[in-house]
Amino acid sequence: MSAVRARAAAAIVLATATAGAPGCVSRARGGWPSNDLLIVGYDREPDTLNRFSTHILEDIESCIVEGLTTTDEQMRVVPLLATEVPTIENGGVRLRGDGGMDVVWKLRPGVTWHDGTPFTSADVQFTVEAINGPDYNPESTDGFDRITSVETPDPLTAVVHYREIYAPYDIQFIRGALPRHVLQGRDIDRAQDYNRNPLGTGPYHVVEWKSGEYILLERVAHYWRGDAYPRIRRLLFKFLPNTNTRVNQLKNGEVHVVALAPWDKYRELAAIPSIVVARTPGNAYEHVTLNERQFTPFADVRVRRALISALDRQGYARTILDGLAPVADGPIQPVSWAYTDRIARYPFDPAKARALLDEAGWTPGADGIRARGGKRLAFTLVTQAGYAIRESLAQAIERQLREVGVDVTVELRDGTALSAIWFEGRFDAMLHWWQLPSDPELTTFFAADRTPPAGRNINYFRDDALTELLYASDRTVDRARRKALLERAQAIIADAVPEIPLYSVTRLDAVPASLANFKGNPTNTGIFWNVHEWAIR
Amino acid sequence: MGDPVSPRFLARRFVQAVPLLFLVSAVVFLLIHAAPGGPLAIYLANPNVRPADIERLRRALGLDRPLWQQYWTWLWAFVRGDWGYSFSDGRPVVARIVERLPATIELVAVALACALALTMPIGIGAAVRRGRWFDRAATIASMAGVALPAFWFGLLLQMIFAIGLGWLPSSGRATPGGGGLVDHLQHLLLPTAVLAIVLASGWSRYLRGSMIETLSQPFVAAARARGVPERRVVLRHALPNALGPLIALVTVDAALLVSGAVVTESVFAWPGLGSLFTEALARRDYTVLMAMLMLSASAVVAFNLAADVAHAIVDPRVPAS
C-alpha cells in the first residue's frame, strides 16, 4: 500500500512541477484567441456601465460609449466623436472679456446611437444639464459645474459656455454623452436598463451581463467607422478578482488578455510563449506623502531632503521593481507634455542625509535614533496590505531610514481604510500613488488651500508662490504658456520635496502575441481606446 | 417513537429568535460602520472627485444623518421587507442577493453531500478499526485536511488539474455563453472538492470520537452478547447514538456556508453569495452587507433549531419539547 501512496505522491509532485512551467500548456481550454472571440480577465465587476456614474476603470464602457475626445497611447488628446479638438488656433476656443470662455465642439457627421437615432449636439446639451441638475448623482461634476449653458446652433455644433477659463476643457466630454431620447425626464441613478446596458455609439454593445461572472459584448452592425470595424466579433470580460486565478486562467487559455497585470507576476507571464506583456509608461507615480500637520518635523525642508537622500531609489527600481519602472523625480511623468527634467534631483547619499539631520538639530541617541528636544525622529509609514511590492518597498524604506537614525514603523491597512485615513489626514507618512488624468493639473495636490477636505494636498504643504503658479496654470489655455508655468511649479516642488517621489508607474498588460494593433494607454482611459482596430493575426 | 417535536416548542424558539436577531442587527450595524473607510472611500482615488462631490454623494446615500437615525431607518424598512438599494450599483439589494443564491446553494448542497459521503465511512471505519492502518491513515489525512488553508488548497488543485493536466477548468460556474451538464459538473468539481475535503476532515474526527465512545457503552456490549451481527451493532445501535455532535457541527457549518463560502468562491470565481460578500465588504456597501449578515444570522438560528429537531428525531433521549 505504501508503494501506491508513494506513486500517488509522485504524480502530484510531478503535476505540480509541470504546472509551474509556463511553457507546458498543451491546449487552451477557452479556445485560442480569434477574431470571433477574445476573452479578457478583469479584476472586478463594474458597479455600473454608466461612464458618468462608475467609480471603476472604464475599460468595458469605452468599448460601448465613446467620448468627444479620447487619449492615445502617448497621452495626446485626440478627437473621437468630435471632428477636431477645439483650440484657440483653430477658433474652437474663444476667451471672453468677462473672464469666461466658449468652446465650440463640431460633431462628426453620420454618427448614430446603436438604436439608429442620430447623435447630435442636443445629447451634449442634455448631458451637461443632467450632470448639473439636482436629480442625478454622477461620480464627479468637475468642470461641468463651471459650465453656465450649452447652445446648439445646429445638430452638429455644441457651444459650451464656461463662467471661467478651464484649462482641461479638451477632456470635458471624454466620458461621452448621455442619450437624451432615452434618459430625458428619468431618474438616471435608477435607470437600470441604461446603466446595465448603455446605449452608445461605440464598436460594441452589451449582449449579456451575468452578475458575478461576465459581461459579453458583441460588435454593432454598422459602426460609424465602417463595416470593416471592429475586427473582433465578441469580447468577453470575465470577472476574476483573485490575482492568482486570473494568472492561472491566462496560462490555461481560459482568458487571453489581462489588463494591469501585477508586477510580481511579470516574469511568470513573460515566459508564456503565446503571451506578450506590453509595458506602457504610465501617468501615475508612487511616492511617500509626508504629512507636515500630523508629524511636524516634516515641516523642516532639511529633514525632507535628508529623508529622500537616505533612500536608494535606483536600487529599489533595479531590485524590488525588477527594472520595470523608472525612478520618478516629481509628480508629472515623462509621458506628459508638461514634464520637465530641469529640476533638482536627489541621488542616494546617506552621508548627506546624516549631515542634513545634524544641521537640523536631530542628534543620534543611545539607541541610534535621532532626537531633538526630547522628541524622537520616529514616525509611522502606512501603506496598503496585500500589495506585495508596496510591502517590500515599505520594509526597504524602514531599513534605510533607520541607518541614518530615523525610526519608521510600517502599518498595513486595506485599500478602503487607507482612503479614509488620507482623506481625514490621520497619518504621519503614507506610501501610495496618485494616478493623474491626462491633464497635468497639480492644484488639488499642492495648492496651500487644497488640504482635505478641500483637495488632496495631504502633505499639508504650504508654498504661496507655488499655489499662485498652479492656479495661474489652471486658468491658462495656451499650451506653451501653461507649460512654462508648470515647469516652474515642478522646479519649486523638486526643491522643497514636500513628498518623496519613488517611481513612475509602468502599466503591464498581458495580451496574445497574435494580437495586432494593440497600443496600450498610460491613463485611466484604458487599453480599449482603440479596440476597433484590434485583430488576431 | 411518537412525535418528538411539539409545535409549541417550535413556536417558542421562533419567538426567542426575534430579540436575538434584533440585537445582532444593532451590533452588526455598529461594527460595519466602525470599520475604517465607508462607501465613499473608493471614490477618493479619482482626483476628479472633489470634496463637493463627496458631500453630495454622502447626502444622496443618507450618510450625513446621525448613526441612530440611519439604523432606525434601515431597521424599519428591513422588517417591512424593503431591503433598500445597493450603495455600489444602485440596484435593489434583494435582486443582488437572489441572483447569487442559486450558485451558492448548488455549491454548498453538493459540497455538504460529498462531505457527508466522505465523513460517514471514514469516521465509522476509523472508530471500528481504531489503532489500525485505516485509522492511522484517516487521522493523518484529516489532520492535513483541517490544516489546509482553503485558498492555498484551491490554488494547488487549480495548478494540478487545470494548468498542469488540463483536465478541468480553473474557475467559474460554466463556460460563458454555453456549456451543458458535463461542462457544469466540470466547473463544480474543484470548488466542491476543496469544501468537501476541508469539511469532511473535521467532521470525520468528531464522528470517530463519538463512535468510539458509543461503542464502549454497555448497551453495545449487550447487543453483541445477544448475537446481533457486528454490522448491525455499528450501524443501527451505535451510529444513531453517536450522531449528535456531528449533527450540531454539520448544521452550524451549513448555516455559515449558506451565506457564502467566501474563500472558495473567491479563488474559483464562483458567482455566489461569498463573492458578493467579499465585493460588498471591499466597497463598504452597507445595505448589501447588512442584508447578508442578517441572512447569515437567521440561517444560524434556523439551522440550530433544525439541529435540535434532527437530534431529537435520531436520538429519542434528547428532549425537544
Average pLDDT, chain B: 85
Residue appearing with cell numbers 467559474: B172
Report CA-CA distances (Å) from B244 to A193, A349, B214.
51, 70, 11
Mean pLDDT lowest among A345-359, B75-89, B222-236 = B222-236
Q: Which of A48, A254, A382, A505 to mutate to test the interface with B (most CBs of B within 10 A)?
A: A254
CB pairs under 8 A between A and B: 188
Three-state SS for A403-415 is HCCCEEEEEEECH
Q: What residue type is B201 in one-letter code?
A: S
Q: A19 and B133: CB-CB below 8 Å?
A: no
Task: Give the one of B43, B163, B279 whose C-beta lies nearest to A45's C-beta.
Answer: B279
Q: Which of A218, A217, A174, A191 is nearest to A81 (CA)?
A: A174
Q: A421 and B99: CB-CB below 8 Å?
A: no
pLDDT digits (tens, 9 = 90+) for B97-109: 999 999 999 999 9
Instruction: Tell me which of A418 and A301 has the higher pLDDT.
Output: A301
pLDDT digits (tens, 9 = 90+) for B111-170: 999 999 999 999 888 888 888 888 899 889 888 888 888 888 898 998 899 888 888 888
pLDDT computed for residue B318 by the predictor: 64
pLDDT at B14 > cutoff 90:
no
pLDDT at A400 > cutoff 90:
yes
A56: left (phi over 0), alpha (psi -120 to 50) or beta: beta
pLDDT digits (tens, 9 = 90+) for B266-309: 889 899 999 899 889 888 899 999 999 998 888 888 888 887 77
Task: Give the one of A137, A248, A454 whose C-beta lies nearest to B51's C-beta.
Answer: A454
pLDDT at A209 > cutoff 90:
yes
Average pLDDT rounded to a whole number, residues A47-62? 88
pLDDT at A389 > cutoff 70:
yes
pLDDT computed for residue B17 by the predictor: 83
A1 — pLDDT class (breaks 50, 70, 90): very low
Bond into A230 cis (ω within 30): yes
CB contacts of B44 in chain A (<8 Å) are 419-420, 422-423
pLDDT computed for residue B259 by the predictor: 66
CB contacts of A137 in chain B (<8 Å) are 56-57, 60
CB contacts of A29 in chain B (<8 Å) are 162, 166, 169-170
Q: B89 and A47: CB-CB below 8 Å?
A: yes
B317 — pLDDT class (breaks 50, 70, 90): low
Q: Which residue of B has its CA nearest to A524?
A: B46
Report CA-CA distances (Å) from A272 to A34, A252, A330, A507, A536.
18, 10, 35, 18, 17
Q: B278 and A445: CB-CB below 8 Å?
A: no
Please report the DSSP string for B40-98 in residue order. TGGGGG-TTS-HHHHHHHHHHTTTTS-HHHHHHHHHHHHHTT---B-TTT-SBHHHHHH
For residue A19, the distance in angstroms to the closest alpha carbon of chain B comes to 4
pLDDT computed for residue B59 by the predictor: 83
Strongest mean pLDDT among A6-15, A288-297, B173-182: A288-297
Give the Cα separation of B165 and B246 in Å (integer).
36
What 3-state class would DSSP assign to A358? helix
Beta bridge partners of A338: none
Q: A254 and B170: CB-CB below 8 Å?
A: yes
For residue A287, the distance in angstroms to the closest alpha carbon of chain B comes to 15
Q: B54 and A20: CB-CB below 8 Å?
A: no
Q: B269 and A26: CB-CB below 8 Å?
A: no
Q: B269 and A140: CB-CB below 8 Å?
A: no
For residue B257, the distance in angstroms to the closest alpha carbon of chain A comes to 18
Give the orientation angle of helix B239-258 with respect to helix B181-215, to 10 degrees. Answer: 140
Average pLDDT rounded to a whole number, residues A163-186? 95
Q: Are B70 and B233 in contact (CB under 8 A)?
A: no
Q: Which of B48, B165, B266 to mutate to test the interface with A (most CBs of A within 10 A)?
A: B48
For residue A486, the distance in angstroms to the closest alpha carbon of chain B comes to 18
Residue A296: which H helix or E strand, with range? Answer: none
Give the Cα separation of B268 and B188 in Å (integer).
10
Average pLDDT rounded to a whole number, residues B13-30? 88
For residue B234, the distance in angstroms to the closest alpha carbon of chain A comes to 27
* B7: CB partners within 8 A, 6+ apart: none
CB contacts of A437 in chain B (<8 Å) are 47-48
CB contacts of A55 in chain B (<8 Å) are 42-43, 45-46, 49
pLDDT computed for residue A5 by the predictor: 44
Give the orientation angle of helix B7-34 with respect to helix B286-314, to 10 degrees. Answer: 150
Q: Are A485 and A469 in contact (CB under 8 A)?
A: yes
Task: Give the one of A140, A236, A436 whose C-beta lies nearest to B49's C-beta.
Answer: A140
SS percent in chain A: helix, strand, coil, step 5: 30, 25, 45
pLDDT computed for residue A315 by the predictor: 96
pLDDT computed for residue A30 by the predictor: 61
Which grid coordinates belong to B136? Answer: 492511522
For residue B169, the distance in angstroms to the closest alpha carbon of chain A comes to 7
For residue B165, the distance in angstroms to the closest alpha carbon of chain A comes to 7
Task: Give the one of B41, B166, B172 whose C-beta lies nearest to A420's C-beta.
Answer: B41
A387 — pLDDT class (breaks 50, 70, 90): confident
CB contacts of A418 in chain B (<8 Å) are 37
CB contacts of B279 in chain A (<8 Å) are 44-45, 241
Q: Which of A29, A40, A210, A442 to mutate to test the interface with B (most CBs of B within 10 A)?
A: A29
pLDDT at A2 > cutoff 50:
no
Residue A379 φ then ψ, to 5°: -145, 170
Q: Which residue of A has its CA nearest to B85?
A: A190
pLDDT computed for residue A265 by the predictor: 87
Give the Cα separation of B112 and A405 in Å (integer).
57
Rounded to 5 degrees, what angle do the CA atoms A340, A487, B51 make? 110
Task: Give the one of A137, A143, A434 whose C-beta lies nearest to B60's C-beta.
Answer: A137
Q: A142 and B48: CB-CB below 8 Å?
A: yes
pLDDT at A160 > cutoff 90:
yes
Q: Are A281 and A333 in contact (CB under 8 A)?
A: yes
Report CA-CA distances (Å) from B320 to A38, B1, B6, B10, B239.
59, 13, 7, 9, 20
B219 — pLDDT class (breaks 50, 70, 90): confident
Residue A169: DSSP 8-state = G
Q: Which residue of B has its CA nearest to A188?
A: B90
CB contacts of A421 in chain B (<8 Å) are 36
For residue A488, the distance in angstroms to the closest alpha carbon of chain B comes to 22
Task: Give the one of A19, A195, A241 whose C-beta lies nearest to B163's C-beta.
Answer: A19
Q: A25 and B166: CB-CB below 8 Å?
A: yes
CB contacts of B63 in chain A (<8 Å) are none
pLDDT computed for residue B260 by the predictor: 63
Beta-sheet pairing, A407-413 with A378-384: parallel
Distance spanning both ends of chain A, measured CA to CA: 53
Residue appearing with cell numbers 498588460: A509
Task: Give the one of B45, B90, B158 whose C-beta lies nearest to A248's C-beta.
Answer: B158
Residue A65 φ then ψ, to 5°: -110, 125
For residue A175, the distance in angstroms to the closest alpha carbon of chain B comes to 13
CB contacts of B269 in chain A (<8 Å) are 213, 238-242, 245
Average pLDDT rounded to a whole number, residues A31-36? 89
Q: Are B53 and A427 in contact (CB under 8 A)?
A: no
Average pLDDT rounded to a whole number, residues A250-259? 90
Q: B51 and A436: CB-CB below 8 Å?
A: no
For residue A360, the distance in angstroms to the closest alpha carbon of chain B comes to 35
CB contacts of A434 in chain B (<8 Å) are 47
Residue A146: DSSP 8-state = G
pLDDT digits (tens, 9 = 90+) for A146-158: 999 999 999 999 9
Q: Which of A45, A47, A144, A332 to mutate to test the interface with B (most CBs of B within 10 A)?
A: A47
pLDDT computed for residue A11 by the predictor: 43
Q: A140 and B48: CB-CB below 8 Å?
A: yes
A25 — pLDDT class (breaks 50, 70, 90): very low
Beta-sheet pairing, A370-372 with A375-376: antiparallel
Give the Cα separation of B78 and A71 in Å (integer).
46
* Count helices and strands in chain B by DSSP H and E runs: 13, 0
pLDDT digits (tens, 9 = 90+) for A114-124: 999 999 999 99
Q: B43 and A414: CB-CB below 8 Å?
A: no
pLDDT at A219 > cutoff 70:
yes
Q: A242 and B160: CB-CB below 8 Å?
A: no
Instruction: Tell me which of B50 and B192 has the higher pLDDT.
Output: B192
Q: A435 and B170: CB-CB below 8 Å?
A: no
CB contacts of B283 in chain A (<8 Å) are 47, 416
Which grid coordinates belong to A118? Answer: 442620430
Bond into A453 cis (ω within 30): yes
Query: How many other C-beta atoms are found inside a 10 Å radius of the C-beta of residue A118?
Result: 15
pLDDT at A202 > cutoff 50:
yes
Q: A245 and B171: CB-CB below 8 Å?
A: yes
pLDDT at A528 > cutoff 50:
yes
Three-state SS for B88-110 is CCCCEHHHHHHHHHHHHHHHHHH
Q: What residue type is B122 in one-letter code?
A: I
